[in-house]
Copies of this chain bind each other. A is one copy, B any other.
Amino acid sequence: MKKIINSPDQVVDEMLQGMVCAHPQYVRRLPGLSVLVRANAPQPKVALVSGGGSGHEPSHGGYVGRGMLDAAVAGAVFTSPTPDQVYEAIKAVNGGKGVLLVIKNYTGDLLNFEMAAEMAAADGIEVEKVIVNDDVAVENSTWTTGRRGIAGTVFVHKIAGAKAESGAQLAEVKQIAEKVIANARSMGIALSPCTVPAAGKPSFTLAENEMEIGMGIHGEPGTHRAPIEPADKIVEHLLDKVLADLNPASGDEVAVMVNGLGGTPLMELYIVSRKVFNVLQAHGLNIVKTYVGNYMTSLEMAGFSVTLLKLDGELKTLLLAPADTPALVQF
């Protein structure tokens, strides 16, 4: 395991320290906890709390700031944070207008955030939750746990964050978050695994010519393996699934995220972006904004995901609204 760390046990704590050292204008840490809150929280607005296992940086602490999150709760690497941590985050950022929890659809995240919500509700804090499930690699089904939440979560942070910043009520912020979730679909592939520091070895192996299709963001295996194909073919395959599920109409406006998993050069992400653009254009879609970079990563995994978000007027305005956070700034 080659990592620039001090000790596997300390990675989350030292990372959070580093984020505060680097971005004191944006975030502060709740003492003794793995929680980053806006430097000047609580705000007199609906508060957004997100989080999950660590290893997805800049998710989630990187999105704490104006126009996005009020708090991010960091679990151990790839492990949901515990309810007590989420509970403290909720209490710290509640500005009296209630708190929306943005949860990715994993059993662990759900159980821990739900327990925290119960604890906060017992204190009389208004808490609502939305569950992000954008990953079309994993089919929805009544008898399984449904689709996973991956990079589409960043769009939820951005748009619900802008709505909350505008002074909207909790129910309105929840509603717009659910609209984002209903209109966001993603899928990804991986070329190489990643190593959880405490595990010390890669969580799976891939042959020199193999890729894993439908890769999750926790090193959990995808839907199947296939020989590596040219970038354009991979994009076609991913967009086939994404478009079939989202089913946008010609003329629709969309936003795109080409997300690197941590170890993929930006050069490759732009090569992917080119093909994504061409395919979407051929479908008659109108691309309003494209994000290219590492937004929801899996440590040093090589690979990428593509997220498509179908926009309406309201979603578009909120997507394009200003944001000022460590990892996403826009005028």
User: Measuring CB to CB, which residues of chain A are less than 8 angstroms from any residue of chain B?
Assistant: 2-7, 11, 14-19, 21-23, 54-55, 57-58, 62, 191-192, 194, 208, 211, 228, 230-232, 234, 256, 258, 262-274, 276-278, 290, 292-294, 297, 299-300, 302-304, 322, 324, 326-327, 329-331
Number of copies: 2
Q: Contact between B231 and A270 (Cβ–Cβ < 8 Å)?
A: no
B292 touches A294 (CB 8 A): no
Q: In the complex, are the beta carbons of A270 and B234 less than 8 A apart?
A: no
A297 & B266 in contact (Cβ 8 Å cutoff): yes
Q: Is the interface of A mostly helix, strand, loop or mixed?
A: mixed
The 5 closest A-B pairs by CB, nearest first: A18-B270, A18-B274, A21-B277, A57-B266, A18-B273
Contact B14 A274 (CB under 8 A): yes
Given known pairs A22-B270, A270-B57, A274-B17, the reply for A231 and B6 (CB within 8 Å) is yes
In the complex, given contacts A3-B191, A3-B268, A22-B256, what are 9 additional A-B residue pairs having Cβ atoms less than 8 angstroms apart? A2-B192, A2-B208, A2-B228, A4-B303, A18-B272, A54-B267, A55-B267, A57-B267, A265-B300
Question: A267 and B2 in contact (CB under 8 A), knowing A331-B324, A331-B329?
Answer: no
Q: How far is the CA of A29 from the CA of B277 in the complex (A)?
A: 16
Contacting residues, chain B, for A264 (C-beta < 8 A): 4, 300
Residues of chain B lying within 8 A (CB to CB) of residue A234: 4
What is the CB-to-nearest-CB distance from A197 to chain B, in angstroms, rounded to a whole number? 9
| Bound-state Cα–Cα, A44 to B298, Å | 44
28 contacts between A and B (CB under 8 A): A2-B192, A3-B191, A4-B231, A4-B268, A4-B304, A5-B231, A11-B267, A14-B231, A15-B270, A15-B271, A18-B269, A18-B271, A18-B277, A19-B270, A19-B273, A21-B273, A21-B277, A22-B270, A22-B290, A22-B292, A54-B267, A55-B267, A262-B265, A263-B265, A265-B300, A293-B327, A329-B329, A331-B331
* Cα–Cα distance between A16 and B6 once the two chains are bound (Å): 38
Rounded to whole angstroms, the CA-CA distance of A203 and B262 in the bound complex is: 21
A268 touches B21 (CB 8 A): no
In Å, the complex CA distance between A225 and B292 comes to 34
Task: Decide yes or no: A265 and B230 within 8 Å by CB, A22-B277, A271-B5 being known contacts.
Answer: no
Distance to closest chain B CB from A12 (angstroms): 8
Among candidates B14, B262, B269, B276, residue contacting A266 with C-beta atoms closer than 8 Å: B262
Within the complex, what minimum Cβ distance (angstroms) separates A206 from chain B? 8
In the assembled complex, which residues on chain B have CB atoms less than 8 Å from the CB atom of A273? 18-19, 21-22
